[in-house]
Structure 1
Amino acid sequence: MNKRQNTILWALAGIFTLVTGVIPLSLSAAEQESSPLTLQLRSRQQTAEKSGRFHATVKTQKWDAGQVAVIVCDMWDLHHCLNATRRGAEMAPRMNDLLNHMRSQGATIVHAPSSCMDRYADHPARKRAQAIPRATNTPKDIGQWCYKIPAEENGKYPIDQSDGGEDDDLEEHKRWAAKLKAMGRNPGSPWKAQTDLLEIRDEDYVSDNGEEIWSVLEMKGIDQVMLVGVHTNMCVLGRPFGLRQMAQNGKRVVLVRDMTDTMYNPAREPYVSHFTGTDLIVEHIEKWVCPTITSDQILGGTPFRFKNDTRPHLVMVTAEREYDTNRTLPQFCLEQLGKDFRVSHVFANAEERNDLPGIEVLKDADVLLLSVRRRVLPAAQMALVRDFIESGKPVVGIRTASHPFSLNGEQPPAGYLAWESFDHDILGGNYTGHHGAGVAVSVQVSAVGSGHPLLAGVDPARLQGFGSLYKAGPLVASATPLLIGSVPGKDPEPVAWTNTSKYGGRVFYTAMGHPDDFGQAAFNQLLKNGIYWAATMVSAD
């Protein structure tokens, strides 16, 4: 909307005020004063065209709080899913703090509890929204649900929500439905208002109408929008005021990713935890719809986390061109770790081999899973790797992780750093090369490995190495060999072991990791056990 159109609409709104007594756009002190916000917008970009792998990239942007609207999507008082009701109530106090802070900085707050407008018929915030004339540039379909935007055609939707996404215990859900019915609520759609845990002030706006909300934004010249509320995979994405409509109609919209929840049932594909389901939807949004931020960027402290989300954060780093682990490991992580871990992926820069975009995520990691071969890193990136490992946190290495940051003694380019002693200092190995390829590696349990909990459920009779046998011994004194590999005519070599790094961290390493190794249930169990062991967790298996 241009300045002249905006002036005309303001004039019309003023006439409306004189006639009706409603003040649609009264300017409070908060609306007159605004503060700059420094936000870290996270999005995902493909590592290379059609690679199917994505770098998580973060860009710093300055937003004028006075030119920001925060839309609160469907934070209802009650929900047909009891767990959804519980999570909404748990998240609401933090969300209310966010709204209060943004309001105090001059932001516009729009409450959008769909199908609940009767409750607010006499509320000044509802009347303010109704009083605004329709914007002259109202998009054609802004009043409609949006199921997909063109960009999403490039990706695969990550979860199955066809059952509605309820994750309640069945018996508890029956009792909840009966309770709702006894309250006089429809068990299928019990909401009648926004939760009372979120304050609605007179200077806010209340609307569930896409045209009304669009007109509020245009009347106030707002181009920057934050979405909070539920549920990410349904209403937050699809409502007329949701992410898709805002994004495809030109608004600079972001999802506040720690102020949302999904409707996802872990009994449906991809059979991960409820919280991992949310992570997958957030990743989908960052790839195809819009960037995301977290509430701590505004409020300080740390991002909000549900109390039942106790998953450790595993960062998987792949940077090698020999064994295709940038394909096998993400699939392994989804299938084997999705119930108990929060997983972030870091891939090598396809155009610059000695670069790991997004490695900053290590600052928030609990476990490092490494599949890297002969890369040297810029000093800042190597510092992140060293800081993590030298803090004593656990490391899991696979195959080429025995020589991840080594150039075999060659001098790295200026500004880049190697870590030649990584194998000895961290993994506890002594990699000096490998035997010829093409000969299957037979695997046996070592004398000291028998009975080790890390080998639970691993049948060595069903395990062989499809890659060449690494020359990995002798191991350091602190290492415990678990599995021994052998090929005809050569000395046996350790192919899986544990260690305590020189910095005190737990370490599991396996010299296996050929693509065909992942086709063996025994190998997947071994690697899974190793990760759980390193994280001092017990697998549900």
Structure 2
Amino acid sequence: MSASSFADSDPWVVYPGGQGAGAGKHIVFVTGDDEYRSEEGMPMLAKILSVRHGFKCTVLFAIDPKTGQIKPDHQTNIPGLQALDTADLMVLFLRFRELPDEQMDRIVKFTHSGKPIIGLRTATHAFNYSRNKKSKYRPLSFNSGTPRGGWGGLVLGDTWLNHHGHHGRESTRGVVNAKYKTHPVLKGVTDIWGPTDVYGVRKLPADSKVIVHGQVLAGMKPSAKPVEGRKNDPMMPLVWTRAFKTESGKTARILATTMGASTDLQSAGLRR
């Protein structure tokens, strides 16, 4: 992060917009997980989008209110969510957060605005209200029955199920679905690989388009062979799109992927 990217008083980072396809557009990254380093990977993506494409990008973090420092496993505080009021796109990479209602108000307002949303890796299980069971947002917990799967199930199309690949032993190869090989999301993508494992995914909503499947590899290198047997027959969805009908009546474009860890983002194909 460059010194000019943030103000000393603000516990978030802003990368200014410029010339390019993103000129005049604002992307807000909401980070907070305690395993996959969203607080490292998302600023990198934000700076690429700012410098190379002209988007204004704001990156928000889980902050320990006692120290004012980034603390990925602090589950109850993400300051700066008012940035969503001017956002054109929200990128959400959260895991088991339990935010106070006044912070969740901002996320939920954007969720139902009809604007596009990208959910990465653990966004399927972004929220878990285990402390404040009287919160009006408890139904958005990942294990909620109504709506099924909470925020992840409602918006992205699924919630947390399991590690389909063996965590820490079996990496992931992205296999493009030939049916959608000309999809705009795949423009310039030639290879997708990451060291994180494939997540299990239930049956996605009927409107979902699985544009990349996740092939489980028998090892932690790109050269590893595919695992034989049922794990890859069929392969799990890895990247999909869908249309989310919001409470406002508007339809939001959704892109979800169960990849996205900072180590995954070494793959140029995934970054694209």
Deviation at 1:310, TM superposition (A): 4.1
What's the TM-score once normalised by structure 1's chain length?
0.39
Look up the match of 1:454.
185
The yes-or-no answer on 1:479 pairing with 2:208 is yes
Q: Distance in 2 between matches of 1:373 and 1:344?
A: 19
Q: Deviations over 1:186-235 (max 9, x none)?
A: xxxxxxxxxxxxxxxxxxxxxxxxxxxxxxxxxxxxxxxxxxxxxxxxxx
In the alignment, is residue 521 of structure 1 matched against residue 265 of structure 2?
A: no
The yes-or-no answer on 1:495 pairing with 2:228 is: no
Q: Does 1:512 align with 2:225?
A: no
Q: Distance in 2 between matches of 1:342 and 1:441?
A: 31
Question: Shift in Å at residue 43 of structure 1?
Answer: 4.7
State the Cα RMSD in Å: 2.8
What is the SS of the residue equivalent to 2:179? coil
Change over 3 Å in CA distance of 1:478–1:406 after alignment to 2: farther
After superposition, residues 201-216 of structure 1 pair within 5 angstroms as none
Q: Give the 3 Å change call, closer, same or farther, for CA 429–413 of structure 1 in structure 2.
A: closer
CA 1:498/1:274 → structure 2, altered by over 3 Å: closer, same or farther?
closer
1:360-399 superposed matches below 5 A: 360-399=82-121
Distance 1:493 1:412 in 2: 34
> Which of the numbers 64, 81, 84 marks the counterpart of 1:350?
64
TM-aligned CA distance change 1:448 to 1:55, over 3 Å:
same
State the match for 1:314 in structure 2: 27
* SS of equivalent residue, structure 2 residue 158: coil
3-state SS, counterpart of residue 505 of structure 1: strand
Query: Quick one: which of 360, 383, 400 aligns to 2:122?
Result: 400
Matches within 5 A, 1:407-422: 410=130, 412=132, 415=135, 417-418=137-138, 419-420=140-141, 421-422=150-151
Could you say which residue in structure 1 is the equivalent of 2:54? Answer: 340
Instruction: Kindly report which structure 2 residues correspond to 1:247-326, keeping only aligned pairs within 5 A, or say none.
Output: 274=18, 310-326=23-39
CA contact (8 A) 2:194 2:267 kept: no
1:273 CA displacement: 5.6
Give me the whole-angstrom Cα distance separating, in 2, the residues matched to 1:428 and 1:323: 21
Amino acid at match of 2:29: M
Correspondence for 1:264: none
Q: Is the 8 Å Cα contact of residues 498 and 507 (structure 1) preserved in structure 2?
A: yes
The answer to whether the 8 A contact 2:122-2:258 is kept is yes
Highest relative contact order (Cα 8 Å, sep 6+), 1 or 2? 2
Q: Show structure 1 runs of 5+ residues with no match.
A: 1-41, 47-53, 57-157, 159-269, 277-308, 526-541
TM-score, normalised to structure 2, is 0.75
The aligned counterpart of 1:328 is: 41
Q: Distance in 2 between matches of 1:415 and 1:474?
A: 29
Distance 2:108 2:159 in 1: 20
- Alignment size in residue pairs: 229
State the distance in 2 between where 1:448 and 1:431 align.
Answer: 26
Give the structure with the larger helix fraction. 1
* Structure 1 residues 312 and 440, CA gap change in structure 2 (3 angstroms): same
What amino acid sits opposite 2:156 in the alignment? L
Render the CA deviation track for 1:133-166: whole Å, top value 9, x for unaligned.
Answer: xxxxxxxxxxxxxxxxxxxxxxxxx9xxxxxxxx
Distance 2:56 2:40 in 1: 18
* TM superposition shift of 1:388: 0.9
How much does 1:371 deviate? Answer: 0.6
Distance 1:378 1:430 in 2: 21
Bigger Rg, structure 1 or 2: 1
Q: For the Cα contact (< 8 Å) 1:431–1:473, is it kept in 2?
A: no
CA separation in 2, counterparts of 1:448 and 1:412? 45
